[in-house]
């Protein structure tokens, strides 16, 4: 195995593992503090955004050029608010009101929604493999929500709503900034997206107060918050870095370990329990993503696996 390919495999597996672990850590943080989804996200987005942009600036990359083009920065703001902030908020709120595994599995429906969107946009029926992916995803969602029976729905209406919004948000997150990323690079767009999203959330949350944040955090919970921010940022860096050495198909396939890691950590650390049909639903959703990574042509099907949702 070439050293570059080995490095790529290590990076994507590390990135997917860190993201899978971050969900249960966020759940633990909510269980041990009075933090809301908004207060957590303000800190997470601002710190991560500043960190990424500062790293780019000190490595002599052009982070301000996009602001010279009105059509580009308008699209950047739309992405920041609806894509970055929208997807992140829906994901974190799903963790808050249900659990980390459920949120991660709903996130994995994003590539399936992209497949459906592209088929409608191009007025072309999905391929057999893509159709199997959609069927597997719908079946998985049914089992995840109902545990096998509509009469015994496991998730609350609020959890289902935010779970669906998570899938939609991550699909939008992937599709909308495609031209911006091609022009300015993924890291620049995501860095600004995090910073702008954090600023918008802070300004829109009039009850937000840093003294309340300081009051609710202990040494252990503050340490956990710092670890979550660091692991989330590193997972993004590793994921993006792996694309230099691996194909989108390979990264999409290997990123499927995220919900598996989240499930293992949640069961062993948080003592979460899941019904047999829910676990089957999770397997179906992961299978759907695997179907989408089966190469046909380097078309939109590969884009569906590139959900750089870190």
Which residue, 260, 262, 230, 236, is CA-closest to 21? 262
The crossing angle, in degrees rounded to 10, of helices 100-107 and 276-293 is 30
Q: Is the dihedral of CA 228, 240, 164, 296 positive or negative?
A: negative
- Residue 208: the pLDDT is 64
Say how far apart CA 132 and CA 143 lie, in whole Å. Answer: 16
- Residue 295: the pLDDT is 66
CA angle 79, 195, 190 (to 5 degrees): 50
For the entire predicted model, the pTM comes to 0.86
- Residue 13: the pLDDT is 92
Say how far apart CA 94 and CA 9 lie, in whole Å. Answer: 30
- Residue 233: the pLDDT is 85
**Two structure tokens written together for 229:** 């921010």
The crossing angle, in degrees rounded to 10, of helices 110-121 and 128-146 is 140
Which residue, 292, 308, 286, 90, is CA-closest to 197? 90
Say how far apart CA 183 and CA 208 lie, in whole Å. Answer: 35
Say how far apart CA 249 and CA 256 lie, in whole Å. Answer: 11
Say how far apart CA 159 and CA 163 lie, in whole Å. Answer: 6
- Asked if residue 201 lies in contact with residue 85, where contact means CB atoms within 8 angstroms, the answer is yes
- Residue 254: the pLDDT is 82
Which residue, 42, 36, 35, is CA-closest to 200? 42
CA angle 74, 77, 81 (to 5 degrees): 145
- Residue 306: the pLDDT is 46
Alpha carbon separation from 296 to 57, 174, 284 (Å, rounded)? 39, 20, 21
pLDDT tens series, the chain, 310 aa: 578 888 988 998 998 899 899 999 999 999 999 888 998 999 999 999 999 999 999 999 999 999 999 999 999 999 999 999 999 999 999 999 999 999 999 998 988 898 888 888 888 888 888 899 899 999 999 999 887 777 767 889 999 999 999 999 988 988 888 889 889 988 899 899 999 999 999 998 866 666 667 788 899 999 999 999 999 888 877 887 787 788 766 776 788 888 889 999 999 999 988 888 888 999 999 998 888 877 665 444 444 444 444 5
């Amino acid at each position: 195995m070439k050293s570059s390919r080995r490095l790529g495999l290590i990076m994507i597996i590390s990135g997917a593992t860190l993201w899978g672990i971050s969900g249960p850590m966020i759940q633990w943080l909510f269980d041990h503090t009075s933090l809301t989804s908004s207060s957590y996200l303000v800190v997470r987005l601002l710190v991560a955004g500043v960190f990424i942009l500062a790293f780019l600036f000190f490595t002599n990359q052009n982070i301000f050029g996009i602001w010279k083009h009105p059509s580009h920065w308008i699209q950047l703001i739309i992405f920041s608010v609806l894509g970055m902030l929208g997807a992140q908020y829906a994901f974190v709120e799903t963790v808050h009101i249900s659990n980390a595994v459920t949120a991660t599995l709903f996130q994995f429906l994003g590539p399936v929604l992209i497949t459906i969107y592209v088929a409608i946009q191009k007025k072309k029926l999905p391929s057999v493999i893509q159709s199997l992916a959609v069927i597997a995803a719908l079946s998985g969602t049914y089992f995840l929500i109902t545990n096998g029976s509509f009469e015994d729905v496991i998730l609350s209406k609020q959890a289902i709503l935010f779970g669906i919004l998570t899938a939609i948000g991550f699909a939008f997150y992937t599709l909308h900034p495609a031209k911006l990323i091609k022009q300015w690079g993924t890291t620049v767009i995501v860095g600004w997206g995090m910073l702008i999203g954090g600023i918008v959330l802070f300004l829109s949350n009039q009850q937000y107060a840093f003294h309340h944040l300081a009051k609710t955090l202990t040494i252990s919970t503050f340490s956990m918050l710092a670890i979550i921010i660091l692991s989330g940022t590193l997972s993004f860096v590793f994921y993006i870095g792996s694309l230099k050495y691996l194909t989108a198909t390979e990264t999409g396939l290997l990123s499927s370990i995220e919900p598996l890691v989240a499930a293992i950590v949640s069961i062993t650390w948080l003592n979460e329990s899941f019904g047999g049909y829910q676990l089957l639903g999770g397997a179906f959703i992961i299978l759907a993503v695997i179907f989408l990574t089966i190469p046909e042509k380097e078309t939109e099907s590969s884009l569906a696996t590139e959900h750089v949702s870190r």
